[in-house]
């Protein structure tokens, strides 16, 4: 087994390697003066089981292209099997045609990865789980819940007065899974999106008056949905408000919104390097990914990794 790290989140790759008790492979990833990416694998990987770790987080296009180039380098170096470990799968929100004359970019990315030579994909909490069907190769789709639940229980030790909230109708299934794990009630915030950066939360379905609340979502980028939902919940009588998010791709706007919001703490994973800042608590994802990599390498089942 060989682990190769891209430049998107090397710290996570090092933590995964440490959890497996091995070293990252020696790889050069540099750029030419014109911006083109150059990759050279400085050790023999012929016949090896290669895992390339690269979340396609911002800068998304650069990190995706770098991943494709690393895959091509590994394939031409005669790797036996190439697994793309993509903790955060960029372009996952473009999974359907919701307007005329727009692409389905998630499918395009799946085609690019397959054509480059990827044998299988390992990822966590896809924004749209049906993206697994865009691939004609195996996809191991893990959930961040086992990593997040322990931290949420520390943040909210008394779950007898807890309600888990989905910030939109599409996230109800995920919120229900967290509610069951925490023995909590379930509520939904019905929202109306104005633009890519602005969300107007409309109404709350369920009882949150006088209760502690955890808003659960698969990802946040601008924190517009989270903060609008939190404000709505506060107006409906919620006592203390927390959030649990699988991928916190937080930019400057998001950090400011979270800092100014009524959310007391955001619990997230370190699937992307942007997951940090005030009110942000990070749950390590490396042990989960490391165990999944070990089981894939040994051709064992990963089903038990879904359990809390």
What does the mean pLDDT of the chain come to? Answer: 93
Give CA–CA dist 195/301, Å, rounded.
42
Q: Please give the pLDDT value at position 146.
A: 92
Q: Please give the pLDDT value at position 145.
A: 94
Q: Is the bond into 306 cis (omega within 30 degrees of 0)?
A: no
pLDDT, tens digit (0-9, with 9 covering 90-100), for 222-243: 998 889 889 989 999 999 999 9
Q: Please give the pLDDT value at position 196.
A: 59
pLDDT, tens digit (0-9, with 9 covering 90-100), for 170-205: 889 999 999 999 999 999 988 666 665 565 556 888
pLDDT, tens digit (0-9, with 9 covering 90-100), for 136-161: 999 999 999 999 999 999 999 888 89
Q: CA nearest 279: which of 235, 303, 248? A: 248
Query: Mean of the pLDDT values across residues 243-262?
Result: 94
Which domains are delineated in the chain? 2-143+286-306 (3.40.50.2020), 145-283 (3.40.50.2020)
Q: Which of 2, 40, 97, 191 is catalytic?
A: 191
**pLDDT class for 275, splitting at 50, 70, 90?**
very high
What DSSP string describes 105-155?
HHHHHHHHHHHHT--EEEEE--SSGGGGGG-SS-EEEE-SHHHHHHHHHHH
Q: Which residues pair with 27 in a beta bridge?
A: 41
- Please count the other Cβ atoms lying within 10 Å of the Cβ belonging to residue 199: 22
What tokens were used for 151?
Answer: 């931290």
**pLDDT class for 248, splitting at 50, 70, 90?**
very high
Share of the chain above pLDDT 70, in %: 96
Q: Is the pLDDT of residue 308 over 80?
A: no
Q: Please give the pLDDT value at position 305.
A: 87
pLDDT, tens digit (0-9, with 9 covering 90-100), for 45-103: 999 999 999 999 999 999 999 999 999 999 999 999 999 999 999 999 999 998 999 99
pLDDT, tens digit (0-9, with 9 covering 90-100), for 25-41: 999 999 999 999 999 99
Q: Please give the pLDDT value at position 265.
A: 95
φ, ψ (nearest 5 deg) of residue 249: -90, 75
Cite the DSSP H helix spans in the chain.
Answer: 10-20, 60-76, 105-116, 145-155, 172-182, 224-235, 252-260, 286-297
Q: Is the pLDDT of residue 304 over 80?
A: yes
Name which of 48-52, 180-184, 246-250, 303-307 the model is least confident about: 303-307
Q: Is 191 annotated in the active site? A: yes
Share of the chain above pLDDT 90, in %: 84
Helices 286-297 and 10-20: angle between axes, nearest 10 degrees: 60
């Amino acid at each position: 087994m060989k682990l190769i790290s891209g430049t998107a989140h090397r710290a996570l790759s090092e933590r995964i390697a440490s959890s497996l008790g091995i070293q990252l492979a020696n790889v050069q990833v540099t750029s030419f003066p014109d911006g083109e990416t150059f990759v050279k694998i400085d050790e023999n990987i012929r016949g090896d089981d290669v895992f390339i770790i690269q979340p396609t987080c911002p800068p998304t296009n650069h990190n995706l292209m770098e991943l494709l180039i690393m895959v091509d380098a590994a394939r031409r170096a005669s790797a036996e099997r190439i697994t793309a470990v993509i903790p955060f799968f960029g372009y996952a929100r473009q999974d359907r045609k919701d307007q005329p004359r727009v692409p389905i970019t998630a499918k395009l990315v799946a085609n690019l990865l397959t054509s480059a030579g990827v044998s299988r994909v390992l990822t966590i909490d896809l924004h749209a789980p049906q993206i697994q069907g865009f691939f004609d190769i195996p996809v191991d789709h893990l959930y961040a819940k086992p990593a997040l639940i322990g931290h949420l229980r520390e943040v909210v030790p008394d779950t007898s007065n807890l309600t888990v909230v989905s910030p939109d109708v599409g996230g109800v299934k995920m919120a229900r899974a967290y509610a069951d794990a925490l023995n909590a009630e379930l509520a939904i915030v019905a929202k109306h999106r104005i633009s890519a950066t602005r969300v107007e939360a409309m109404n709350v379905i369920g009882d949150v008056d006088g209760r502690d609340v955890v808003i659960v979502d698969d990802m946040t980028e601008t924190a517009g949905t989270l903060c609008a939902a939190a404000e709505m919940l506060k107006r409906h009588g919620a006592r203390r408000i927390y959030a649990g998010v699988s991928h916190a791709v937080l930019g400057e706007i998001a950090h400011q919104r979270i800092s100014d919001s009524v959310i007391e703490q955001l619990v997230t994973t370190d699937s992307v390097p942007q997951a940090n800042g005030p009110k942000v608590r990070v749950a390590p994802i490396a042990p989960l990914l490391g165990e999944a990599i070990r089981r894939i390498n040994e051709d064992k089942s990963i089903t038990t990794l879904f359990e809390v």
